[in-house]
Homo-oligomer: A and B are copies of this chain.
């Protein structure tokens, strides 16, 4: 590729057609941490929905954040999290991508996306909400806090990691989890999914 960069100014961004702009801006973040979030309401209705806005917030206590859009179809997820206080985060493998993407459709609350897209809800020990059976890396999370961002009404949902399920062979001696080996995929934009192959670890950075 020849390096000859186009410069797009803010007024051009604001003049983009709405859907074009959403696709464009969503692409700029980079490759995103994407996963299936499993929940249940107090009546036992199961829900699973794809989120591509996970963010590491801390290791002690182990905290993970995710952004919920105000206009999102996945507000059922937030409602359920607030009702029961628990949710699961399940990494997506290549064989699950088509089903995972389809959880973004607008299903009525009484419809289980597990059934609608063909994924299996899995209950493990006494954890009250469903994991995704097909996933290889799964996190059981307890809701801790929601922070509404006044700037545009998006909500940062913060949870504490309660349990982690993963194949023992993907954990390296220093605690690093090899997500390439686990088959975890990544996402760009609104609808693009990518497998990841090559990886290189670098030594601790010193001046």
Chain A interface (Cβ within 8 Å of chain B)?
1-10, 13-14, 16, 18-35, 52-65, 67, 69, 91, 97-98, 101-107, 111, 116, 124-125, 136-139, 144-145, 147, 149-152, 154, 156, 158, 161-171, 174-177, 179-186, 188-189, 191-207
Contact = CB atoms under 8 A, between A and B. Distances in A.
Contacts of A27: 175-177, 179
Contact of A167 (B3, B25, B107, B170): B3
Contacts of A24: 59, 171, 175-177
Dominant SS among interface residues on chain A: mixed
B19 A174 contact: yes
A56 B26 contact: yes
A189 B200 CA distance: 11
A29 B23 contact: no
B154 A7 contact: no
B199 A3 contact: no
A191 B175 CA distance: 12
10 contacts: A1-B167, A2-B167, A6-B171, A13-B62, A25-B62, A25-B161, A29-B55, A106-B207, A177-B188, A195-B197
